Amino acid sequence: MPGWFKPQSTRQEGDRAWKAQVAIATRAPFAPTVADAPRDDRDSLVGEAVYDSEGVHEALTTLVHGLAPDRPVVATTTAALSAASGLLVLRPSWITHCNDTFALAEDARDSRSEMSRQWVSADIVRAWPRFAEGQAAHERATASIAQLQAELAKFCGRDVTASAWRVA
């Protein structure tokens, strides 16, 4: 096949990469602007990352299955998916911890219950019996996903986290 006939990426691949980039960037523990912002206690990010891991894992799974195997971003996506999986396996334990701490019904899906599982003070996160595992998984996932975001920006031709929003 002539070199000029091989596209850099298909429209479907680009769409999936863009959606993955947005999914990651809109989850606070993985968004560079939020993750790098000063906080009183950064341990609260561990709880957020574990809770948000489901959406990140889903986006990365969709992406990795939609890429041609020879794309350079596949290896980084696979590594990020593996790191996100480390958080995802902790999610049921995290939800149980939050349910017990805040007296939430196991099947509660209202906004108050969901926010109580996502945005938790650092003291409550540290009281979680699997905090050390969560902290290690969060560090691995954050590093791997940051590397993936840079590659997705190149792949898509634009970095969604670098956009400067200005109010006129």
Instruction: Name the residue type at position 122.
Output: A
pLDDT at 141: 92
Please give the backbone phi and psi of residue 79, each rounded to the nearest 5 degrees, phi first: -65, -40
Inside any domain, residue 44: yes
Burial bucket for residue 114 (CB in 10 Å: 0-12, 13-18, 19+): middle
CA–CA separation, 16 and 78 (whole Å): 14
Inside any domain, residue 50: yes
The 10s digit of each residue's pLDDT in 18-62 is: 899 888 888 766 655 555 556 567 888 999 999 999 999 999 999
Q: Chain centroid to CA 73: how far? A: 16
How would residue 6 be classed by pLDDT, with cut points 50, 70 and 90?
very low
Total count of domains within the chain: 1
Contact between residue 129 and residue 97 where contact means Cβ atoms under 8 Å apart = yes
Contact between residue 90 and residue 50 where contact means Cβ atoms under 8 Å apart = yes
End-to-end CA distance of the chain: 50
Instruction: Specify the pTM.
Output: 0.82
Please give the backbone phi and psi of residue 128, each rounded to the nearest 5 degrees, phi first: -65, 130
Inside any domain, residue 2: no
Inside any domain, residue 163: no
Inside any domain, residue 168: no
**Domain span at residue 70?**
9-158
